[in-house]
Structure 1
């Protein structure tokens, strides 16, 4: 998609009709020295969606949002993908507070890659303090977004994506509760005063967590993802109403925030 060829975006206080993009893929930026591969699209309102692999870190970003409230490190965006139900999605606030970075970037990029209707509701984002809503039909991006995912070793398809809307900000899908919560240690190699990591796992029949992956972390080279991953593998859940040893597998996601004392 040429940078000058943008597509319309309906923005209103209520649900709006989707606006259809005219071109067949997203813009690309490649910078070999920076190890950057980025797919991005600019909407006529100034909202920008981007999926990028840079230096081994994968991100999905939305830029051009109303600035997040001062002091907050995360913000909630209410998303609707296709015909699915609206759900609350936690995003990280960037240094530029009009930019939000996804907790689950690969999953978000895969949903954008398919194209179709995408709605973002921003609580408190309207001039009168109400909810600002963006409603757009995205072009499919098999090639561009697919290239960014592949550059960072992310799969083009993942069955776990469908379970993410059921993972609340607290991390556990009801009725699961922690019987042995994760207790990450601050990385031994002290590089940064703080950071975060987002982990997802599948609970095993006995409640131990397995198939754990780092969904996102910042800073990328701070060791926070590895620390949270080790803690996840030592943790355990229980599921009231079910018998330990035959627990139903569920997707377990949690955020760990690291701060030096």
Structure 2
């Protein structure tokens, strides 16, 4: 049932009914060619379902089967440990199905999980009465399915930017860095009352930003990612601990929550 809910979310994002589904030794794949959509997912023995999807150029990571989030919760944190790596506190957006969440940085997670193996997912407060809930998983490797979703969205199969993402704090900026001129997005023209986009950029020596990319956005056809990307044109950071004009390259990120007033 939980994987069915996750598939339903994919169908809503893809806005189509025609499906082609593969069930192989790899992750399962659902394709909607008419909507330029592909979805790779795997149900786990602990009740979670994990999936990666590309919908007309918009990439996303989805987890279903989570303990239901409270009505006022928009963002939830999941602590994910892949193999012997250090635990990573990652941010996820709660969907209309409050047992399902979307990752802020999906492509990096896809590249990590396609290797399969041990994965631990800790849900803070998910055990009730303030207790954490831990899922200890052993995921199958994905030889082609996850790569298909990445390629469909023009995402690299190996990306050196992944190593810089852990430097981004909850504020979106590395320690010691502040906005001199923060991005100022406006609400795009669409039919949605709310949405969000997450964008990363690389800092230039003079404090400007370039190589900006949309990491995630929802709804997929709301234009929120393009809008947030345009807002980076005049954005600048300041790093008081460095000489002006000699800032070291580093990754910054920011999230825009759009709400129609």
Same fold (TM over 0.5): yes
Partner of 1:249: 249
Deviations 1:208-230 (A, max 9, x none): 01100011112222222122111
Preserved contact between residue 72 and residue 93 of structure 1 (Cα < 8 Å):
yes
Residue 258 of structure 1, CA deviation: 1.3
Contact 2:204-2:249 at 8 Å conserved across structures: yes
Q: Structure 2: 5+ residue runs without aligned partners? A: 4-23
With normalisation by structure 2, the TM-score equals 0.86
Task: Specify the alignment match of 1:134 in structure 2.
Answer: 135
In the alignment, the residues of structure 2 paired with residue 40 and residue 217 of structure 1 have an alpha-carbon distance, to the nearest angstrom, of 19
Matches within 5 A, 1:4-23: none
Q: Deviations over 1:34-93 (max 9, x none)?
A: 433111111112110101122332211111011112211111111212222212111010
Question: Counterpart in 2 of 1:33?
Answer: 34
Gaps of 5+ in 1: 4-22
Q: Which residue of 1 aligns with 2:11?
A: none
Instruction: Work out whether residues 177 and 237 of structure 2, in 8 Å CA contact, stay in contact via their aligned partners in 1.
Output: yes
* Paired residues for 1:235-246 under 5 Å: 235-246=235-246
- Cα deviation code 1:5-34 (max 9, x no counterpart): xxxxxxxxxxxxxxxxxx952112223234
The CA RMSD over aligned residues, in Å, is 1.7
Which structure 1 residue ranges, 4+ long, deviate > 6 Å from structure 2? none
SS in 2 for 1:160: helix
Displacement of 1:121: 0.7
- Provide the rounded CA distance (Å) in 2 between the counterparts of 1:148 and 1:169: 27
Structure 2 counterparts to residues 100-249 of structure 1, below 5 A? 100-187=101-188, 189-249=189-249
